[in-house]
């Protein structure tokens, strides 16, 4: 099975970034650094004709923010259950 993903796989990229960089605030990452972070993800492959642009990077950043918020919410739910 091909487990690669590309620039248009925004949700997958956000999940991978959240897993790979759990302590990073997505809003603190400038687009050039975000582009490099995505390129370094295991399984990421660029497709010819689909270069990253500001719109794609912004969508990735927003999805990463949501993914991080979900993860933080899940952790808080776990803490509530432990009480």
Secondary structure (3-state) at 5: strand
Contact 36, 53 (CB under 8 A): no
Tell me the domains of the chain and their CATH numbers.
Answer: 10-82 (1.10.10.600)
pTM (two decimals): 0.83
pLDDT in tens, the chain (83 residues): 468 999 999 999 999 999 999 999 999 999 999 999 999 999 999 998 888 999 999 999 999 999 988 877 766 655 555 55
């Amino acid at each position: 099975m091909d487990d690669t993903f590309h620039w248009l796989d925004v949700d997958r990229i956000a999940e991978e970034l959240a897993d790979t960089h759990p302590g990073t605030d997505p809003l603190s990452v400038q687009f050039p650094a975000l582009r490099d972070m995505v390129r370094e993800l295991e399984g990421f492959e660029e497709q010819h004709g689909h270069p990253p642009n500001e719109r794609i990077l912004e969508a990735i950043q927003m999805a990463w923010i949501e993914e991080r918020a979900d993860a933080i919410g899940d952790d808080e739910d776990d803490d509530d259950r432990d009480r």
